[in-house]
Each structure stands twice: as C-alpha cells, then as structure tokens.
Structure 1
Amino acid sequence: MAHLLLLYLLYLIKGLDGSTLEINNKKLMTTKCINEELWNEWFAGIADGDGCFYINKKENSLSFEVTTHITDIRVVTNIKNILKVGTVKIRSNSQSVRYRVKAKAAIIDIFNRLNGKLYNPARVKQFIAACEIVGITPKVPTDSLFMEKKSYAYLAGLIDSDGSLVISVSGSTAEDSQLSNVHGKITRLTYSKAHNQITLKVTTSYKTYAELIQNTFGFGKIYTQKPNIKNKAPNTLYHWTVTSQQDFELLYESVKTFPLKSLKMHRLRLSLLYFKYKNLKYHLKEAGTIEGKTWAKFANTWYKYSY
C-alpha cells in the first residue's frame, strides 16, 4: 500500500510522461512575469502622478522619489518592498511620506521598469534628462500605443498617486459649517440632503494628457480651470473628472483587474453604495428613520480613515 501511495504521489508531481512539473513551472513563470509587468504599469502611473526624477547638477547624480499623504504610506512601502531598496520617511512639518532611492543599481532597475511606460509630459521630460546621466536610451511611447494597451494597472497607479475622491457638500446650516475636523465633515454630509456630489478627479496642466486619459478609458469628462493670477506662475489646469453613476461603475469594473493600493480603494467601493442610497433617497430622510440612520452610517464609513 505504501508503495502504491508513493507511485501516486510521483504521478501527481511529475505526470506519467514526466512533463507535468515542467508545464506547471512554465505556468508559474508566465504568471510571475504578467504580475510583474502589471506592477510596473501601476508603478508608472504612480511615477507620472507623484514621482520625481531629481537631478543634482553639482554632483551629477540623481535620485528617484515618490511622495504621498501619510494615510497612503502603504503605497510607498509597497514600492520599497518590491524594489527591496530605498528609504521611506515622514517629511517634516507635513502630513506626507517620501520614498527615495539613490543607489545607481536601483535607479537603473527603476528606469528599466518605467522606460516606455510614462506619459505625463512633465515626467517624460524629467525621465529623458535623467536617462542621460545613467546612459540609458529613453523610450517615448506614442499616444496610440497607450490607447492600444489600455492599462488599467496604470490607471490605478495614477489614481493612487494623483487622484482625489471626495464627496463635496455645497450647503449646510450655519452651526454645522462651524464644526471642524472629521466630526464636522461627517455631520455636514449626514445632513446635506440634496447638496452633495461625489467626484473623482485627476488634475494636470497638460490638456493633451487629460484627453489621452479620457479617450483611452472611454469615460469621465474634462473641465478646464482658468489660471489663478495671484499665483507666481499661474497655469491653466485640466481636470479629468468622474461624477456620474455610470462612469463610477465603469471605473470600478476597470480596476478590478488591478485594484488601487491607496485608501481611495475604500472610497471607490463605497461609491456604488453612495449611488444606491441616493437612488433610494436615503439622504433625504429624517435622522431618526431607518433610512436616515443608514445614510448617517455611510457618512461615518466614508470618513473612516480621515483625521
């Protein structure tokens, strides 16, 4: 019996023709390569949004940095864990953290991962200049390639880094408007009635880049914000914006293949619940009703990770 069990185990491991193990290894390698490529696409979205190739002209050296809000520290720690190099530190006098790497070997690895995957004109310009220092030939992909690839992993990275997902309240009582911090936000949303709007937004000063995002993924609208003349260097801003239920449903389905790594994923999941409750008019019900209590619970959940 023991002999037969041993033969059966060998059969499971190798297969009768000795090829099963080899096939399984190939499948594992293929899956690993696909997952790595998807991560690189997500990383490119992060770099295009919150990344920076910093060149020190005096020392002729460079570093790569990603800065994000303190609540999204998991984004930069994920990068550090994957690349196995670099530092993650809290920035002084700010609610942000920064991932930074200076080691040349690590920089080259990052460049190879990102080469041909960056589309933000500002980041592409930085990347080309940085490539000259390390002797790498930069690849500048075309818009048609971006549209053909239609990488939802890249979109997830861009939203993780440069996106904002909020519910704005346009009207509240004088008393509620004076409430501060998270408690104030929850109270104003709870009692906002019809005066609230959910919005996901990615902002850029490059109209062509905003149009590329919209045309590639097929949803959202672009709004133009005129320059603020009070700023030292006023720029026209272009907001790729998602507001409708249909577009949020498309967005949610799109990033299922590569979910966001930031806390925005928490709010993206809640966005579908937001429209459900709005359609049922829970937001219009009195506070003491079951519907009103359900809406209040949603408001609390929306700000769960805020402070």
Structure 2
Amino acid sequence: MVAQMGLNKFYSAIDYMLETISLANYLLFSHFYSAFSICFGIGRGKFINKKNYLRNYLDASGSFNLLLNSQINNYAAINLNNTDIQSAENYIGFSETIRQLFNSEEKFYHWLAGIIDGDGNFDIRKSTDILARKPKLKSIRIKLHNRDVRILTRIQNYLHFGTIITAKNKPYSIYSVYKNEDKIFLINKLNGLIRIKSDSFKKACSIYNIEHIEPNYNISAYDPYFAGLIDTDGSIVFNYNSNRIECNLEFKYNSYTSKLNLDNVIPNYKPYILLRTHNANKTSQRFKSIAFKFQTVKGMVPLYEYFIFNRLYSDFKFYRVTKIKKFIEIRKYQKSDFHSVEFKIYSDFVMDWIQYQNPLWTKVPFVKNLRIK
C-alpha cells in the first residue's frame, strides 16, 4: 500500500508537470495570436488566404516555426538558414519577434531580386489568341549551374511553389514558376526591387494590371540584393600579385546597369568602377560592359562582414568568403622564404582556397609559385 501511495504521488507530480507545460504553451500561443491578430486585423468574420499564409510563415522544412533561432545557442549573424527570428528565451515582446519575422521575409525577397537580376528571366511571349491585345508571361525562370543548385532549392523551399528541372547532358538546372496565382504573388513581392531586368518586369506587371514601382538604384547598406547578384553573376577571386581576396561584378552596360550605385552596400568599402568595350562573338559588333570591383586590402574585412550577415548560397563562393579572416592572419607569409614554415602555411591556405569545388584549379597561373609538396 505504501508503494502504491508513492506511485500515486509520482503520477500526480507527472500530471501536474504536464498541465503546467500545457498551460505555458497555451499562454505562449495565445499571446502570439493576439499580437498577430492586432497586426493583421484578423478577428471574427475575417479570414486569411491559407496558401499565402503558408508561403510567408512556414520555414523551409514546411513546419510552422516562429522560434527558429535561439540567440543563446546560435550566432544569428551566421545562421545558414537565414532566419533572424529572436527566440522566446530572450523574449522582450512579441512585437520584436514579429518585426524580425518581417525583416527575414524582406531579406529573402531582396536577395531573390538580386538572383533574378543576375540569372533570372521573365519569359514574355506573344499571345496565341488573335483577339488578345496583351502578351503572355509564360513563366518566371532562374537558370544556374548544377554546382549552385542549392540556390534553386532554397527558393523553392521558401516559396512552396515552382518546379526545378535538370537539363539533360548539360550542367545546369532551371527553376520555373508557371501558375498564374504564383506569378502574381511573386511579381507583387518583387515590385520595386527588380532593377536590371526592369524592361521585362514592367511588361509582366502590365500583363496582370499591377502598377509598377520604380526601384531605388542606390543600394543601401547591407542590402541582401547585392548578395543575390554575387550568388549569380559575381565572383570571389584571389589576386596573388596584390596578395588579396577580391569581389567582382560585371554586367552589359545599359540604361539600367549604368544607374546601379553600390557605393554604400558594404559600409566603408566603395567599388572601383570600370567601363570596357568588347567584341561580340569575335565579330565586328562591339558592346560595352560595366564592372564593379571591390579590390583593396583594407576592404577585405568589410567584405567579410557583409557576407557573414548576408550569406551566399553558392557554396563555392561562400567558402571562399569565409576564408578571408584566416587569410588576413597569414597573408604576410607570402614574402617569407620559399622553404620556410611560414611560406608552407601560406601555400597550403591558397591551395585549399583555389581547389574547393574548382575542377580547373590546375589552370591557375600562380600555382607554380606555391610550395605544394
């Protein structure tokens, strides 16, 4: 009987604990729902579109997750899932949590606009209907090398729509959006953010009677738009002669790229702008390009800080960026004696840097200057 009484007390304690946990969860959810309702005007007799709700408030795994990133256990600045949501462990007010949720959403669409301006396409076609006056937006597409397919899967996981098709016998994949409701949703989200592909984007807005918002070509500090451009059209390169790591962007020169101002996107680091003339396909036809080159030794730290805050989803490029901090510590060893320990450390670093996901590393001219063995 004594044993039974002890067991009953044990069960009672367990029940009490579970009830306490349930009550805490209920209060937590109620508090959030109240704040959420006030922000969005959701009350009796008001409903929200389920599909758009899922698009905005599900995490990449497809689960409802408002407390993704604990700042106690993780470093938010280098969170690979790109979520800046403060955890309840550091809770000050749910308004702050919701604000950070919106910042995370805004961060994604700014980055996506950079991706589309880099390697995206609004596929405008003439309508097959003779009576139709407007052209048709067949799809919104992004085409990337298979090495960077993670960028496409991230977009698909975040948006919860679109398809990815890998080309046969070619090393690239294409993310496509075909459904009208999805195209309209995406156009509205990107309105005011597309800068380089502006001509086709304006036509897409016109097709769906969406008023086009003129973008700001002065890219603000830490804007993820720049990271999207680097993920697609940019390059992270090692300049052996100048002993530094650089970041470069180059576009065909036109009325839109000429307005692009990247002076403020990386605080304390302005790019060198270069205009060049090229021959098109080895013919007499010529075209101009505009290049933005971040290429100073002092700028390597601001460059590193920007991409830690706005990580690249091209693993090849992001790996190179993450090595900047270590490189600053050992770059002075380049001038050491060829047979010294210091130069061996330098050579090992540079070899690792250029070999990562680079099957053409043997073609790099300065490899012959390094101590490989």
When the two structures are superposed, what TM-score results if normalisation uses the length of structure 2?
A: 0.64
Matches within 5 A, 1:21-170: 22=34, 26-59=95-128, 60-120=136-196, 123-143=197-217, 146-147=218-219, 149-168=220-239
Q: Distance in 1 between matches of 2:32 and 2:212?
A: 41
Q: Any idea what the Cα deviations from partners look like across 1:74-115, whole Å, max 9, x if unmatched?
A: 111111111222222233454322212211111112111111
8 A contact 1:90–1:96 mirrored in 2: yes
Q: Distance in 2 between matches of 1:57 and 1:124?
A: 19
Matches within 5 A, 1:134-213: 134-143=208-217, 146-147=218-219, 149-168=220-239, 194=241, 198-206=245-253, 209=257, 212-213=260-261
Q: Distance in 2 between matches of 1:231 and 1:214?
A: 32
Amino acid corresponding to residue 65 of structure 1 in structure 2: R
Worse-matched range after superposition: 30-39 or 88-97:
88-97
SS of alignment partner, residue 213 of structure 1 = coil
Quote how far apart the aligned CAs of 1:160 are.
0.8
Runs of 4+ in 1 over 6 A off after TM superposition: none
Amino acid corresponding to residue 271 of structure 1 in structure 2: I
Structure 1 residues 5 and 197, CA, compared in 2 at 3 Å: closer, same or farther? closer
Q: Distance in 2 between matches of 1:90 and 1:11?
A: 49
1:257 paired with 2:309, answer: yes
SS of alignment partner, residue 119 of structure 1 = coil
Q: Any idea what the Cα deviations from partners look like across 1:25-59, whole Å, max 9, x if unmatched?
A: 55544332221111011101111111111112144
Match of 2:329 among 250, 262, 276: 276
Structure 1 residues 97 and 25, CA, compared in 2 at 3 Å: closer, same or farther? same
Quote how far apart the aligned CAs of 1:213 are.
3.1
Q: Which runs of 5+ in 2 are unaligned?
A: 1-11, 36-92, 129-135, 360-373
Structure 1 residues 248 and 91, CA, compared in 2 at 3 Å: closer, same or farther? farther
Amino acid corresponding to residue 226 of structure 2 in structure 1: L
Structure 1 residues 106 and 19, CA, compared in 2 at 3 Å: closer, same or farther? closer
Worse-matched range after superposition: 237-246 or 94-103:
94-103
Q: Any idea what the Cα deviations from partners look like across 1:264-295, whole Å, max 9, x if unmatched?
A: 111111233334322x2236542x43223222
Amino acid corresponding to residue 107 of structure 2 in structure 1: L
Q: Distance in 2 between matches of 1:152 and 1:66?
A: 21
8 A contact 2:307–2:321 mirrored in 1: no
8 A contact 1:62–1:130 mirrored in 2: no
Amino acid corresponding to residue 226 of structure 1 in structure 2: T
RMSD of aligned C-alpha atoms?
3.0
Q: Which residue of 1 aligns with 2:296?
A: 244
8 A contact 1:152–1:254 mirrored in 2: no
SS of alignment partner, residue 152 of structure 1 = coil
Structure 1 residues 88 and 284, CA, compared in 2 at 3 Å: closer, same or farther? farther
8 A contact 2:231–2:314 mirrored in 1: yes
SS of alignment partner, residue 141 of structure 1 = coil
8 A contact 1:282–1:294 mirrored in 2: no
Identity of aligned residues (%): 25
Match of 1:219 among 238, 252, 270: 270
SS of alignment partner, residue 324 of structure 2 = helix
Q: Which residue of 2 aligns with 1:188?
A: none
Structure 1 residues 270 and 283, CA, compared in 2 at 3 Å: closer, same or farther? farther
8 A contact 1:152–1:257 mirrored in 2: no
Q: Distance in 2 between matches of 1:268 and 1:21?
A: 40
SS of alignment partner, residue 215 of structure 1 = coil
Larger Rg computed on CA atoms: 2
8 A contact 1:41–1:151 mirrored in 2: no
Match of 2:341 among 280, 290, 301: 290
SS of alignment partner, residue 264 of structure 2 = helix
Q: Which runs of 5+ in 1 are unaligned?
A: 170-193
Quote how far apart the aligned CAs of 1:219 are.
1.5
Q: Which residue of 1 aligns with 2:368?
A: none
Amino acid corresponding to residue 132 of structure 1 in structure 2: S
Count of aligned pairs between the two proteins: 275
Quote how far apart the aligned CAs of 1:140 are.
1.3
Q: Distance in 1 between matches of 2:120 and 2:215?
A: 18
Q: Any idea what the Cα deviations from partners look like across 1:240-272, whole Å, max 9, x if unmatched?
A: 001112222112222333211112111111233
